[in-house]
Structure 1
Amino acid sequence: MDPRDGLPPPGHLVQHRQEGRIPGTHPLPGISGAGVTVGCDRPAPVRQAPARQAPARHPGPDPDPRLEIAGLTALSTCDWPGRLVATVFLQGCPWRCGYCHNPELLDPRTPGRVPWPRVIDLLRRRRGLLDGLVFSGGEPTRQPGLATAMEVVRELGFGVGLHTAGAYPGRLAAVLPLVDWVGLDVKALPDGYPAVTGIGSGADKAFASLRLVLDAGVEHEVRVSVDPALHTEGGVWRLVELLTRSGVRRIVLQQVRRPDGSASAPLPVLIAPPRGVRVRRAE
């Protein structure tokens, strides 16, 4: 691996955004520049990223989308199941979930620490080795330069993955034609959103975004972080039923971590989940 990637020392683990924090690691993957994501499900066989037609652009230097990038993970097997990817973590999120393990990413006023040219340099050096780039956060759709960044990534020949909680359905609709895979966080049943996110209107936006993803036909995974302080056994089962009826093809239940980094006590649904639903434990 190239030292320019800023990889952490051997044995340093950097955590996947959607899982709980690994004890003894920095909560921001790649806050010093980049990292390696490990500690997740065994990846499926790596396949070539889907080929979508990128929008035509005039020739010239790559534009700078002016993203506020808090961290860069140079290699991940978790952030897009079945793919080897790099991941950028974009600053800012409008929600305040009590179990959030990346609180440093919440404040949109915090400037980014990773310049976009460093991301492009990494991708150019990893042609043939990486399948794509995942835009994670925070909430990446809040940044106006996201579509431009995705276009650049596609023109370099890489697939585009997106992690989102669906907080901005209008902005999500604008970038979905540029996305090959979506990891969508659904927080709770609609009436449970205020308790989880601290935002009263969150459910309408999240479920509107879910419908956009399903109607677009894009590959997706819906993740539900199960917090025993906020969710009930029956509520999780009803949410899974709602998602299944809506047409979601892949549902993952995730065990959250407490603020001290220890794994929360799992609800029974994480031990014996509904048929076809995967569980991602906070190891």
Structure 2
Amino acid sequence: MRFFSYLSSFINNWRDYPAEENTILGKRYTVQQMIGEGSYGLLYKCMDQQSGDVVAVKQSRPSKGDYARQLLDREAAVLRSLQHPRIPAYRDFFTNNRDRYLVMSYMNGDTLEDLIFEQNMKYEEDDCIEITQQLLKLVRYLHEQGYVHLDLRIPNVLFKDGRINLIDFGLARRIGEPPPLQVPVRKQFKRDSSASSVQFKDSKESEDLRDIGHFMLFMLYSTYEPDNNRGTAVERSWQEELHLSTGLQNMIKRLLQLSEPYSSSLEFMHELQSLAKTRSHPSDKKGSL
């Protein structure tokens, strides 16, 4: 069994070997470099020979077969219906043998992780609120079009010239759309396995809001200074480690569904705007608990 498992892994790695630099995809897009790799797709930075534009080309991962192709079909359908300057624009879609390729406008920038750990950026409460407002405007646009992103992780939010770009709609679905099922396991390579559904998120606005809550905490931890005099045996919660104002702490608890969750992203937007307006009130300053 170990030999067959190894052979399967080798074949999949060979099939998923990325296109090399200067490879021409779709008789039009010249690969400059591979810029991303996910469970179901390979992402390239390419030059469009016809327009001269730099574009992003996403290839369905060959080893994942029909499942990866279906996911890329869905992503293409989502991007076709969206028109926002801070979201990748749909450009083209083509096939080569059984592989599918989605062409999008190319977006680059720094992630929050880059800014904090490489550029030593620190984000206070006011910074967090302003940046979250930017992100929420994009998420609200998406929700208004009837979609949820479902993957609002650090790598998918890019900072460029003081503005935010939102990328990677590979997991996006229509609000209320049932989650896809996992590709059945090939039992000849896995012993004692059984086919089951992947733990996909529900297609609800609350899932995007939960991700925003984690995004805000990541940002706020940039100012955290551990107490070296305190023992490390007892793990503390973020409420104990971060000295946040009452308003912001309650907001994050609602986002993370630790207290009554928001009914919609619109409700959260109204509360966030209200908090931003009242930040000058002495009772809502940082540390006022």
For normalisation by structure 2, the TM-score amounts to 0.29
Higher helix share: 2
Query: Which one scores higher on RCO, CA 8 angstroms, separation ≥ 6?
Result: 1
Of structures 1 and 2, the larger Rg is shown by 2
